[in-house]
Amino acid sequence: MPVSLPQLPSATHLRQRLGLLFVLGASITLSVVLITFRVFMTQELTFVFLLWNLFLALIPFGLSTMLGLAAGPVRRRLLLPTGAVWLLFFPNAPYILTDLFHLAQRPGVPYWYDLALILTCAWNGLMLAYASLIEMQGLVRRRMGTVVGWGFATAAIVLSSFGIYLGRYLRWNSWDIFMNPLTLFYDILNRVLHPMAHPRTYGVTVLFSAFLLLGYITVRQLAGMHREEQER
């Protein structure tokens, strides 16, 4: 009886993945260099916290990449538990966009330098989020179809937008679901049951959902145009 071997990624797929890793690595390196140089210039640790935020943004990307490279049977077993952890950490990637709140005129460093520094970090967070979501949507689509795949992507963006609100305004972290679950659950339930008492909750969630979803669709459309150009 023939034994079916697990399907390995194609050479083209691996080349594309390596190209993505190279570009993202170069972009993240730029952010690290800008932060390091700022510390050297000012002898202050003002934006060092962005290194931690970038690390958190790398977690969902790493998880989705691991699933994408896993063999078929292994991937099926890991999809649900790894996907749950992925969803828990996914908001950390687009969350870096809100670090623009920290932009202010500070002595010793030009305003434009800090603007470029935060923008590169925000860009990296957004690209890591989109790259990770494309991978996860593809996994869901292959198992459950295109409609469910887009439903998953949309739900992930809406939940991450709500997570951005929880992190920026209520200062909750992803691990608080284990460290302080009751208080976190109370804060969430209170906003679900009393929406009119928390307009900022829904304003932030809706606006970020619209922005992130439109940006994601744009990235997918650009990728589709690129594939069509290569096939000509």
User: Do the Cβ atoms of 135 and 68 come closer than 8 Å?
Assistant: yes
Least confident of 8-12, 106-110, 214-218, 225-229: 8-12
**Residue 72 vs residue 46, higher pLDDT:** 46
Give the tokens for residue 144: 């459950």
Checking if the pLDDT of 129 tops 50, the result is yes
Least confident of 5-9, 119-123, 144-148, 157-161: 5-9
Checking if the pLDDT of 76 tops 90, the result is no
Rounded Cα distance, 5 and 9, in Å: 12
Rounded Cα distance, 94 and 163, in Å: 10
Rounded Cα distance, 188 and 183, in Å: 9
226 exposed, middle or buried (CB, 10 Å; 0-12, 13-18, 19+)?
Answer: exposed
Checking if the pLDDT of 3 tops 90, the result is no
What global pTM score does this model have?
A: 0.90
pLDDT score recorded for residue 231: 63
Give the tokens for residue 198: 């928390």
User: Do the Cβ atoms of 61 and 93 come closer than 8 Å?
Assistant: yes
pLDDT score recorded for residue 6: 46
Question: For 64-86, what is the mean pLDDT?
Answer: 85
The 10s digit of each residue's pLDDT in 5-62 is: 445 556 666 788 888 999 999 999 999 999 999 999 999 999 999 999 999 999 999 9
Question: For 165-178, what is the mean pLDDT?
Answer: 94
Instruction: Kindly report the average pLDDT of the chain as a whole number.
Output: 91
Long-range contact list for 214-220, CB < 8 A, 24+ apart? 215/126, 215/130, 216/130, 216/133, 216/153, 216/157, 219/130, 219/134, 220/134
pLDDT score recorded for residue 77: 84
Give the tokens for residue 41: 């210039």
The confidence band for 226, taking pLDDT boundaries of 50, 70 and 90, is: low
DSSP designation for 98: G
Which string of b and e fits 122-150 if b means at least 16 CB within 10 Å? bbbbbbbbbbbbbbbbebbbeeeeeeebe
pLDDT score recorded for residue 1: 42
Which string of b and e fits 49-86 if b means at least 16 CB within 10 Å? ebbebbebbbbbbebbbebbebeeeebeeebeebbeeb
**No. of helices (H) and no. of strands (E), the chain:** 9, 0
